[in-house]
Amino acid sequence: MSIVQQLIDFTRGNPLLVLAALPVVLVVAKVVHYLADSSDLRSYPGPFLAKFTDAWIFWTVSSNRWSHSVEDAHIKYGPIVRIAPNHISIADPKALATVYGHSTGFTKANWYNAFSEFAAKNIFNTRASALLNPSLTEHARKRRMEAHMFAPQSIRAVEPISHSHVNELLRQWDGLISRVAKAQQGGPNGGHIGATTWNVQDGRVWIDCMPWLNFWSFDTIGDLAFGLPFGMLKSGRDTAKVAKSAEEGFKAIDAMSKGGDALVVEEEEIPYIEYLSARAERNACLAWLPPVWARVVLTLPAFSGYALTGRKLAALSIMAVARRLANPNPREDMLQKLLEARDEEGKPLSPQEMSSEAFLLIIAGSDTIANTTCGTTYYLARDKRVQAKLQAELDGALASVDSEVVPYDAVKDLPYLDAVIHEGQRLHSTVGAGLPREVPTGGATILGHHFREGITLSVPIYRLHRDESIWGPDAAEFRPERWIEASPERKKLMMDAFAPFSVGPRACIGRSLAIMQLHIIVATLFHRYDFTLQSDEPLRVRDSLARRPLEYSGSSPTAKLPKRPREDLEAWIPPPIWGRRNGVAAVKVERDEVFWFDDGSVILEAGKVAFRVHSGVLSYHSEGLRELIDDGPRPLKMFKTKPEGSPSSIPYPDPMKLKLSDPPDELRYLLRIILFCKASVQMPFSTVAALVRLAEIYRVQALLDEGLKRIKSCFTKSLQVYDKVEKKKGSTLMSFVDTDAIAAVAIARLTNTPSILPLALYMCCQLDPDVIMNGVARANSVVDQLSPADRLSCLRARAILCNDTHVVAYKTVASAREGANDACIRAINKAAQELWSYEDGGLAHHHALQNWDAIIDRVAGTCCHKCVALLKSGAAKERRAVWDKLPKMFGVPYTLKA
């Protein structure tokens, strides 16, 4: 009998003993794994249980204390903490760019798999790796298809829709205020509107703001994303109609997408916000469990009905897509743009993808804005000084605005409002936990610590936003002035640690919409109403994934809403001025002759040259410049007419000034492309490289793609193309010189484009050793250099290529000599002597890919056609063998073509 059979028989005969021994076996396995330390993480401190199991983080998330528990761990153990066996949390701003930034190779962790309601992934839970080519990943495809939904002109187009729902919120709250007078005349002192409550006390009406802000946010995004609101504001209830069966919804989509008749689908009402919150919390818990354990947990009472709830939530977006397919609506909303979106091959999103992306829109676009607005309202209601200061700025800026809802253009540049919103996002980031990322192949070094590939890293936003070394000793206080008073150095430090929308290529794609919504709602509410708290208790939140203020409790922000008299709006107080220089002498700069427009709204200073341009054009083309402009210092507000009681003279403001570290000539060419769309048919490599560097830094995706296409046209993956461009030192798109290979390697590393590397590094090997070691200076004196690893790789490859060059020559000549007559042998020997002579390059320059055709053609007249063909085919075969091994020679995970 085999040992295996004996174990099976023992298990069957002693089930209770095996069951009792199972926990011991699991504990021993965890301890052995910890002691083995295959990931080199044992030296990092953290909660004791987190060293062995994911149970610690599962417990903190299920207890709704994720961000707080991780912050407590960092306060106790330091900036680098082990919060799970394979998970390190790094509370340092320097880690943000590495873990979440562009072209670092980090990918989303398995944790995101728990957030899949559909077979098709959406832009949030897509985890495709970007190691081979960023432009080909599924995430990049989705982001490009959806980016136009959040372009500035698209956001402005939907502003009227947003206004209509703010108006409905004002109508409800104004109606509540009227209850005060009725109560004083003997009417009721309290009551209900739908599921919300109100009561009149001390001449004021008291409500819980959180549900109302949720209703407003969900109605708004429902209208934008699905083409119709939920009706929550009008009913005062958390309710939405969904298909009883998601499967029936997909059948309806399939029928209507094929031109069939619309199917009648039975619907039901569900408490959508309640379901959505519960689903998100359960997802965040289950995400930390292995799949087997997750299935076990789903059988527990607390998680019963989990799958059914998910299907009901998904059914809402499924039916929204079905309705739009049945009744095409030309209205400019986000659902219409999803339907119109096409990828690079002209293909639309599939019905599953559209439903999945629409579902994500309702989560990311409603819950997050409502939470941030509620948190900001709480802090303003608690601090009357800050509230009064904000209202004074709003009163001055909106004195001539007659609309009930504040237009975005009227408030988007108000400095104190900006500071209030920034401070609200800092203290109440909707996502405070660090979203997990996996270390890429080769590992990563952060803050001097090397982490192996496959390890999960995260940067806790909640902790960064409260770090006293960044925000000062009053980091826990709501003080908007910190954003105004900060020196440029301090402001940069703050912005480096400020990540309410995350950072990098997977940051919130709807950032522009969120910023517009926050400006409109905060400005409208505080321009119209006074707020106070019924209790001074701290704001309590449920903190699993999103940090949600608790609803329907005395600790939620409760507002008194006496409508503010319009005559109060005549008061004018000049807003504070951003960007004080603190006595630092300004560097004298010269205006650029071409890019200086007198009505430009932003000045870009690069070195000693200043460019004055229009911010709207820059924001449209460049995501990076848009963020700098959105977050940059604001000038003094300019008033068209002098308000009554204002100073006798109001200074004209300077446009916003942004200091950039880029060379002026490189920035000049970037502006030429962005503003004038003028690009030469053929450009020198130096110009293309400059554009690619700036396009990567400022995220000008179209320009980045165009620049990389030009570089790839010369630093190619095809041997045949290489022969052509090497002869002409260029292609139809780009010219180059040999030393450009060093900068090409840097571009490939910067943009994570490995197809450029094999040929670029091969060409570096042809350069003098001193150039390989010291680099090449650009026209602006910046030196392009190879990394130490690439320098060492090139020096080693030179020796290999020198040998390969002689092997190619020997094998080619030897094979052609076999069976050749005397005359042909003499001709072949002559060609060999020309090859082996070290004059004019010869074989001395490690040029194993040297094209023999010209030399062979010179002896063709004294050699038969068969031997000439043998020489050429032999040389081509041996050169191709060298070409094929270039990626391995330089350690590049890429395959070249012959």
End-to-end CA distance of the chain: 58
Q: Show Cβ contacts of residue 799 under 8 Å, excluding neighbours closer than 6 positions.
A: none
Q: Is 508 annotated as a binding residue?
A: yes
Looking up tokens 């009149």 gives 200
Long-range contacts of 563-568 (CB under 8 A, 24+ apart): 563/174, 563/177, 563/528, 563/529, 564/391, 564/527, 564/528, 564/529, 564/530, 568/395
Return the beta strands (E) in 428-540 as ranges: 437-438, 444-446, 449-451, 456-458
Q: Show Cβ contacts of residue 823 under 8 Å, excluding neighbours closer than 6 positions.
A: 862, 863, 864
Looking up tokens 């306060």 gives 75
**Rounded distance between C-alpha atoms, residue 582 and residue 571, angstroms:** 30
The values of phi and psi at residue 543, to 5°, are: -125, 85
**Rounded distance between C-alpha atoms, residue 603 and residue 614, angstroms:** 9
**Rounded distance between C-alpha atoms, residue 223 and residue 234, angstroms:** 14
Closest by CA to 643, choosing from 564, 573, 568, is 573
* Number of C-beta neighbours around residue 13 at 10 A: 9
Cα–Cα separations (whole angstroms), residue 98 to 457, 459, 894:
10, 10, 23
Looking up tokens 């350690």 gives 891
- Whole-angstrom Cα Rg for the chain: 33
| Cβ–Cβ < 8 Å for 762, 794 | no
**Rounded distance between C-alpha atoms, residue 859 and residue 826, angstroms:** 10
Q: Show Cβ contacts of residue 781 under 8 Å, excluding neighbours closer than 6 positions.
A: none
C-alpha 566 chain-centroid distance: 43
Q: Which residues are annotated as a binding site?
A: 508
Binding residues for heme: 508
